[in-house]
């Protein structure tokens, strides 16, 4: 694959041209000549559009058409990740993920975008299934998710980054490879939003310290740009005085967080595992009885440190809520706690190592949360109070738990 080192520039704005049903059909016709193809719009995300595809004599499929926000790398890593996870789920007999049948990262088809064709999994979103389920059915689904996460936890890597086919590695700096895939350059929103896709430091990172410092560097650059532009415009441009003040506050928090990194996180090589950070209820599929039938949206899933993977899936700390559904608030909170307790209980049974790391590394996860949110004005006060408590060695409530009322 000689072209891997020279991908086309990333897109900074939205869709330059809209992918159409006709362009999807024309693209697929090149791969399935002479067969009847029917395409319908299915859904869309921040960086992609999904179309349902029916190809003559084939089961229903989905084609994900993606903005080239991180050209080539995002598609290659998603394909490698799906194949790796499919291998793990097949081995352990756990929840399925989409199987890739075709993909294209070159943008030379009638679509002019990168795309992946995969099978469509059965079921509705867990978000839609949630109000139909009783607490026993919900707990059974939680146990399924626990088994899935425990299965992923068994396959280890030695760098932080996204997975790529082993054939890519002669073109990249050498890293240890497990089987046919290994971690390379990271693909995640903090690293490609805006102009960040051109950032020279994209990993793979040897440990948490390198990874977190690099993320803070990106936050610092954004804050510095805001302040510089404000002064260049003499306060008369698009950037307001308040935005400049918030950027200054962000820079102060970044300085404080850098000191905490050195105190909290050892600067040693460490193992990593695949971790789906965005496992919310719309990315989990279930049947009407609550049985989990699939997990989707693997486009920015990376191999991350063990402490990061030892955490609640998103749907358990930010559970589905439905307008118009009248429930007793205290009962809802009690049920949420019960499901989180059930998850931890299952993880303790399935992976004693996982649960030990979970209890031992809450402070690191809080620090990681602060790093992710130090630019967020709504979180500034929370983060400042948390840092103050750490410095004064008083009682230190979990930053993450206080935000989500866990």
Q: What is the DSSP string of 287-352?
A: -TT--EEEE---TT-EEEEHHHHSS--HHHHS----TT----HHHHHHHHHHHHHHHHHHHHHH-H
Average pLDDT, the chain: 90
Higher model confidence: residue 327 or residue 60?
60
pLDDT at 404 over 50: yes
| pLDDT for the residue numbered 37 | 97
Residue 353 lies in a domain: no
Lowest mean pLDDT among 59-73, 165-179, 360-374: 165-179
Residue 201 lies in a domain: no
Query: How much is the pTM?
Result: 0.91
Give the per-residue pLDDT at 326. Answer: 63
* Residue 279 belongs to some domain of the structure: no
> Is residue 11 scored above 80 in pLDDT?
no
Is 378 domain-assigned? no
How far apart are the C-alpha atoms of 29 and 25, rounded to whole Å? 6
65: phi then psi, degrees, rounded to nearest 5: -100, 125
Q: Is residue 391 part of a domain?
A: no
Q: Across residues 39-63, what is the average pLDDT?
A: 95
Question: Of all helices (H) and strands (E), which one includes residue 277?
Answer: none
Confidence at residue 5, expressed as pLDDT on a 0 to 100 scale: 38
Band of residue 173 on the pLDDT scale cut at 50, 70, 90: very low
User: Average of pLDDT values for 71-85?
Assistant: 94
Answer yes or no: is 266 within a domain.
no
Q: Is residue 16 part of a domain?
A: yes
72 within some domain: yes
Which CATH number fits the domain that encloses residue 62? 3.30.200.20
How confident is residue 182, by pLDDT bands cut at 50, 70 and 90?
confident
Mean pLDDT across 28-46: 94
**Whether residue 219 has pLDDT greater than 90:** yes
Number of independent structural domains in the chain: 1
Of 186, 195, 193, the residue nearest 74 (C-alpha): 186
Segments forming the whole domain that contains residue 54? 2-119
The predicted model gives 293-316 an average pLDDT of 97
């Amino acid at each position: 694959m000689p072209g891997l080192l020279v991908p086309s520039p990333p897109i900074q704005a939205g869709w330059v041209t809209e992918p159409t049903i006709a362009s999807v059909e024309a693209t697929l016709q090149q791969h399935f000549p002479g067969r009847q193809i029917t395409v319908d719009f299915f859904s869309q995300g921040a960086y992609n559009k999904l179309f349902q595809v029916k190809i003559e004599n084939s089961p229903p499929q989905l084609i994900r058409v993606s903005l080239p926000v991180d050209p080539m790398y995002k598609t290659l890593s998603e394909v490698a990740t799906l194949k790796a996870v499919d291998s793990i789920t097949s081995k352990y007999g756990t929840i399925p993920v989409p199987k890739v049948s075709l993909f294209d990262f070159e943008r030379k088809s009638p679509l002019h975008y990168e795309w992946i064709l995969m099978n469509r999994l059965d079921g509705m979103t867990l978000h839609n299934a949630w109000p139909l389920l009783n607490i026993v059915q919900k707990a059974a689904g939680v146990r399924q998710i626990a088994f899935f996460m425990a299965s992923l936890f068994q396959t280890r890597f030695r760098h932080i980054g996204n997975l790529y086919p082993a054939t890519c590695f002669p073109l990249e700096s050498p890293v240890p490879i497990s089987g046919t895939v290994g971690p390379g350059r990271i693909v995640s929103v903090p690293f490609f939003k805006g102009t960040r896709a051109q950032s020279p430091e994209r990993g793979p990172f040897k440990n948490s310290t390198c990874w977190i410092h690099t993320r803070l560097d990106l936050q610092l650059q954004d804050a510095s740009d805001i302040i510089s532009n404000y002064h260049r415009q003499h306060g008369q441009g698009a950037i307001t005085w308040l935005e400049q003040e918030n950027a200054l506050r962000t820079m102060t928090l970044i300085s404080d967080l850098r000191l905490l990194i050195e105190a909290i996180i050892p600067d040693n090589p460490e193992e990593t595992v695949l971790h789906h950070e965005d496992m919310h209820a719309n990315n989990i599929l279930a049947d009407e009885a609550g049985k989990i039938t699939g997990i989707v949206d693997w486009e920015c899933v990376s191999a991350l440190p063990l402490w990061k993977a030892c955490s609640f899936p998103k749907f358990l700390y930010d559970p589905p809520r439905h307008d118009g559904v009248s429930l007793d608030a205290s009962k809802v909170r009690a049920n949420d706690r019960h499901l989180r307790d059930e998850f931890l209980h299952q993880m303790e049974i399935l992976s004693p190592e996982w649960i030990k790391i979970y209890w031992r590394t809450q402070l690191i996860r809080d620090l990681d949360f602060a790093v992710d949110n130090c630019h967020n004005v709504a979180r500034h006060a929370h983060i400042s109070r948390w840092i103050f408590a750490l410095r004064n060695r008083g009682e230190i409530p979990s930053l993450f738990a206080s935000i989500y009322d866990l």
